[in-house]
Structure formats: structure tokens, C-alpha cells
Amino acid sequence: MFKKIPSKLDTSSQDYKDNHRAFQRCLSDIESAGRNHKKHWEDAAPKQKKRGKMLARERIDHLIDPDTTFLELSTYAGEDLYEGIDVPGGGIHTGVGVVCGRRCLIVANDQTVKGGTYFPITVKKHLRAQKIAKENGLPCIYLVDSGGAFLPMQSEVFPDVDDFGRIFFNQAQMSAAGIAQISSVHGFCTAGGAYIPAMSDQSVIVEGTGTIFLAGPPLVRAATGEVVTAEELGGARVHTSISGVSDHAAKDDTHAIEILRYIVSSLGKKPVAEIARKEVVEPEYPSSEIPGAIPADPRKPYKIKEIIARLVDGSGFFEFKPAYAKTLVCGFAHIGGIPVGILANQGVLFSESALKGTHFIEVCCQENIPLLFLQNISGFMVGKKAEHGGIAKHGAKLVHAVSNAKVPKVTLVVGGSYGAGNYGMCGRAYDPRFMFMWPNARISVMGGKQAADVLATVKQAQVQREGKPALTSEQVEKIRNPVLQKYETEGSALYASARLWDDGIIHPMHTREVLIEAFEATLQKPIEETKFGVFRM
């Protein structure tokens, strides 16, 4: 057992209570969005039931093994993204679930959102799910109920490299790599979407509700003059007995899911990552205390070990270089019995911090230990002393190590994620297998105050060069205030999650469970060997 982290969090203090209240305010927008989603699905349920269909989320619940957890991803994708159009969850449900004992990536179209059509964010979410499947070797199950592309936005959905067509490219590549592609068609499967079952290794179609065709009856009539019903054109009988596009016909949604489970149960066994697991031990301190440990003022640093103590097994932690470069905490722990190397911010990154992090990542890669990054970072140190000390080249070493590490990486933003600090701590661009945010998280190129001050300073210098009078305090504030407001809006966790800059906003109380599921998903294939390039010395 690693040494237990001693907690000094005073849960009876006024500071703790103030922090708890401030955290609740961070939750308000997110909880409001969640209530709106729930109401949307409650309102849509009767219509789906009348058609003999389940809601998308119900299909997932029936598909996964009893008493297992579905790791749902990007719940708030599309939130307030399109003016005048609500797209709850981006119009699609994605996540990792256990099916017949096998972890699978599940993609389910939500027919209640504009007929399950694909908005730009829907495509982005679908592609992100496929990337997760490919990186982690997870079989893909597609629960199809979609009208294809959302035609008013076709120019943003159809033609580019990461648009609708990439879905089928990914299916082909994953099938070639031995990653099973399985689909069931529960409703419309139209136009380009028809390629999802056609590109699957095995596919199921539901009688009476499932249809597959490149062009529906109205387009067929317009193009050829042929009058045909949807069932005659591409129903279950057509595709299981005439065209061969589907392999199995199901009587209803429940039967289709039963067939899917049979298919998954018949998949061959694949090699998984070899790691030294330990018995699972719950943390010594409750996760419910975490909100009280997060300062109400996001600019105020806090003791990151108080967070680690509430996430890791037995609150045990073996710290690496504990007396050196203390603004970056590094160490070894277990989460759900899985060994992890943790890099967590405790202030700004100095050259020493970057060197310590680089060394630690090398050690973890050598021993095939997955990495967990806990981001609360304002960036790298700036100024004459830092630049003369080589902060750029030392920071580059950390970025280099993060970029090339082949061990599974999971990132959690527990506070700020600013500038190059986001890069050094494995931000989205550095391919963490999963990246989550807490509701209090902030993400932008720099803090709003810093951005406002920089722009005001630049403008002040400009008027001085032009020989004009210096800006008054009122004029300076006129420059600063819109910038502050913009950064306040665009730096929020909900704004980021709506655009898929993460894989979801999670509550601190549920973080340990989410991390366990995420790391389990990353261990479904062997870990590749890491090779580093040239570190500038």
C-alpha cells in the first residue's frame, strides 16, 4: 500500500462552506441544460412508443449488461450552438458500455432530434466516438435511426475530410484492423447513412420500422417516376432476403438488441494490455467533500493532493521528486486497482516543473503505466529570468514527452486550462484517450483579465506612437469590458463541452467512477512501445 495522503481539509470551516456554495453556482447552467434534455425526451417518448420504438437511450440501457455502467460521452454537445435550433446531446448518444462482458463503443442516433439527422456537431461527436474506439480497440455498435444529413447545413456536413463521409472511412479502417463493426437499424437509414449497416461486419434490421435506402420514396419518384413505399424499397424483408444488405431480421427493438448481444458474445477474444493490477480499495475520504476543496475564486491555487486523496485507491500515493519543482505534483497510485502515474498542477510551470514532468512520463512509459493529468494551470512562467533560463526549450521537452507517450492518457480539467499549460498537461490536441472537465473548469488561450489588459496595453501603445493623448480610464474600460465578457462566456465548461473540446462535464462526486471506466476502456488492447524524438538540451 502506498503512503496515505493526510487530509487537512476542514469541512466545518467557513471557507469550505463558501467553496461549496460557489461550486453550486457553477452547476446551475449545466443542471438547467440537463433538465431541458430530460423534458425533451419525456415529451418525445409517447410518439416513439406509439410507433413501437424505444428511445435511443432505452436501447442502450437494454443493450449493456445488467448492473454495469454506461460511460456516456459529450452529453452537452451542441448546447446553444445553433441559433433557434435545439440539438440535445448533439442529436446522438455515444459512450462505452459492457455488452456480454465485452467493452464496446456504442453510437445511437436520437430520432427525436430533427429525425436523427446529422448536424455538424453530430458528425463531430460520431467521429470522436469512432476515434475512441480505434485508439482503444473497442468493437463498435451502431444503433441507427437517422434521416441522414441535416440538409439546411449540408455544406458543413458533407464535403470535407472530417465530415459525414469520414464515418464510413473509419468503419472500413477499423474493420480491416479487426475491430468489429456491428449495426442495427431501428428506423430510417437514409442516403449516406445507409452505408453504416452496409459497411458493418454484421447488421440487423427491425421489421416494420427499419428501412435502408440511398434515396427515399419521394426522391425515387422525382428521379425516376417510380412509385414505391418505404417498406417495398428498403424494408427488412428486402434487405435480408433480396439485397443481402442486412444479415438478421428482428421483430422489434427488443429482439434486435437480443441479436446484437448474440453477435457480441460470438466475437473472438482479443489480447489486452498487460498491467500489474491490485485489489480495489476505496479512498479514505469521501468524494462529496471535493467541491468544498475548490476555491470560490478560480484564480486562487489549492492543494491538489486533497483532490488526489479522494480519487485514488486507499488515498495512497507514492510521490515522485516530492521536494523538487513543487508546482507540478507527480506520483504513482491506483484507481480501481489500475496503476496510474499522476501529473497534477500546484501552480505555474517553471523549467524545473517541465523537466520533472518529462522525467516522470519517461518512467511511466518505460513501465507501461497509464497517465492521468489533473489540469489547473495558468501556463508556463514568463519574464526575463524564465526566458534566459530556457523555459521555451524545457517546456518543449514536456510537450514532446506528452506528444509521444503511447501509454493510455486521460486528462481531467479540475480548474483552469490556459495557454501552453494546456499543451504541456495533455490538452485536447495531444490525444488523451479521454478528456473530461469539472463544472468549475475554465479553458482559453489566457485568462480574461490578462487578455483584456494585453489588448488595452496594445491600444495605449498605439495611440502614444501616433502622438495622440493617452487613453482615459473610461476608454481603457471600454476596451477591457467586452473582452472580459467574451472570455467569461467562451471560457466556461459548458461552452467548451458544447463544441466537443472535451468528452463531457462530470461532477466531482462521480469522478472516480468515470476515471475507472475510462481507464478500463483504454486497456482493451496491448500498449504500444513509446519512442521519443530529439529533446533539445
Q: Residue 372: in which H helix or E strand, if any?
A: strand 371-377
Choice between 381 and 264, residue whose per-residue pLDDT is larger: 264
**Architecture in CATH of 54-265:** Alpha-Beta Complex (3.90)
Cell numbers at 350, concatenated: 517553471
- The CATH class given to the 275-441+505-537 domain equals alpha beta
Instruction: Answer yes or no: is pLDDT of 287 > 70.
Output: yes
Residue 85: DSSP 8-state: B
CATH 3.90.226.10 placement within the chain: 54-265, 275-441+505-537
Question: CA torsion, points 216, 220, 221, 222, in degrees to nearest 10?
Answer: 100
Q: Which residues of 347-369 are buried (b: 16+ CB within 10 A; e: fewer)?
A: bbbbbbbbbbbbbbbbebbeebb
Q: Output the pLDDT for position 457.
A: 87
**What 3-state DSSP class applies to 93?**
strand
Q: Which residues of 463-496 are buried (b: 16+ CB within 10 A; e: fewer)?
A: eeeeeeeebeeeebeebbeebbeebeeebbbbbb
- For the segment 97-105, the average pLDDT, to the nearest whole number, is 98
Q: Output the pLDDT for position 1.
A: 58
Q: How far apart are CA 351 and CA 396, in angstroms?
A: 10
Could you tell me which residues come within 8 angstroms of residue 310 by beta carbon, excluding any fewer than 6 positions away? 283, 285, 286, 287, 289, 290, 293, 512
Between helix 351-366 and helix 391-404 the angle, nearest 10°, is 20
Q: Output the pLDDT for position 495.
A: 96
Q: In the 3-class helix/strand/coil scheme, how is 439-469 assigned residue by residue?
A: CCCEEECCCHHHHHHHHHHHHHHHHHHCCCC
Q: How many CB atoms lie within 10 A of CB 323?
A: 6
* pTM (2 d.p.): 0.95
Q: Output the pLDDT for position 305.
A: 97
Q: How far apart are CA 133 and CA 180, in angstroms?
A: 10
Describe the chain by its helix, strand, coil percentages, rounded to 5: 45, 20, 35
DSSP 208-238: TT-EEESS-HHHHHHHH-----HHHHH-HHI
Q: In the 3-class helix/strand/coil scheme, how is 258-308 assigned residue by residue?
A: HHHHHHHHCCCCCCCCCCCCCCCCCCCCCHHHHHHHCCCCCCCCCCHHHHH
Q: Which of 17, 8, 15, 24 is nearest to 303 (CA)?
A: 8
Digit-coded pLDDT (tens) for 234-272:
999 999 999 999 999 999 999 999 999 999 999 998 899
Share of the chain above pLDDT 90, in %: 82
Specify the residue for cell string 476608454: 475
Q: How far apart are CA 372 and CA 311, in angstroms?
A: 11
Q: How far apart are CA 287 and CA 11, in angstroms?
A: 12
Q: How far apart are CA 2 and CA 244, in angstroms?
A: 58
Digit-coded pLDDT (tens) for 195-238:
999 999 999 999 999 999 988 898 899 899 999 999 999 999 99
- For the segment 138-146, the average pLDDT, to the nearest whole number, is 97
Q: How far apart are CA 306 and CA 113, in angstroms?
A: 41
